[in-house]
Amino acid sequence: MGLDFDYLFGQTPLDEDEIAGILIPTIATRSELDEFEQQNIEEAMQWVLSRSFKPKDILTEKFVRTLHKRMYGNIWAWAGHFRKTNKNIGVDKWAISSSLKKLLDDTTFWIDHNIFEADEIAIRFKHRLVCIHCFPNGNGRHSRLMADVIIDKIFKRPVFSWGASSLVKQSDTRMTYLKALREADKNSYDKLILFGRS
């Protein structure tokens, strides 16, 4: 396939088998792929934000997978399936399921025992989810939408603005986001929470 994949700083490269999983053979450039993905993501956002979910239904592996499939299922054959290769980020492919289970259990505990404020729970979840890197692609966008679902459906608060611009393209906003992620890697979440609400 002649797909032109130029990766931005911080993006996870796809291997050849993953690229072969594209469902729209007419896509020829990264820009075209981004457009199709964005359309699919907007449909997923409408689906998830217009429905009622209970916390016990959201904080499950099934929901995490379903949301990813809703976001990318019209584009990628592997949407909603855990990655089968190791990447430049994330836990070992064999540890994805157990790492996700621990995150879901931890988040349930944080909520049940008021360990953190609502925004911090959603942001901590987002950060750890992207660190696990469950899927071959789309982990950043998926983790941000999961944080939006948590803050909206569980805490009944407005969704995050995430810098109010696209984080798919190289920009100052994207660099601010990546710097905030690096701070969260050091267990300092203030900048990522602030960015989420900017």
CB 37 within 8 A of CB 72: yes
Gap between the Cα atoms of 192 and 86, Å rounded? 26
SS3 29: strand
Domain ranges of the chain: 16-196
Residue 9 has a pLDDT of 47
Second-level CATH architecture of 16-196? Orthogonal Bundle (1.10)
Q: What is the mean pLDDT of the chain?
A: 91
Q: Poorest-confidence range of 27-31, 109-113, 146-150, 163-167?
A: 163-167
Q: Poorest-confidence range of 28-32, 60-64, 138-142?
A: 28-32
CB 100 within 8 A of CB 43: no
> Is the dihedral angle over the CA atoms 167, 163, 126, 66 positive or is it negative?
negative
Residue 2 has a pLDDT of 46
Residue 16 has a pLDDT of 81
Average pLDDT over residues 95-122: 98
Average pLDDT over residues 40-56: 94
Gap between the Cα atoms of 83 and 65, Å rounded? 11
Gap between the Cα atoms of 183 and 110, Å rounded? 21
Residue 116 has a pLDDT of 98
Residue 123 has a pLDDT of 98
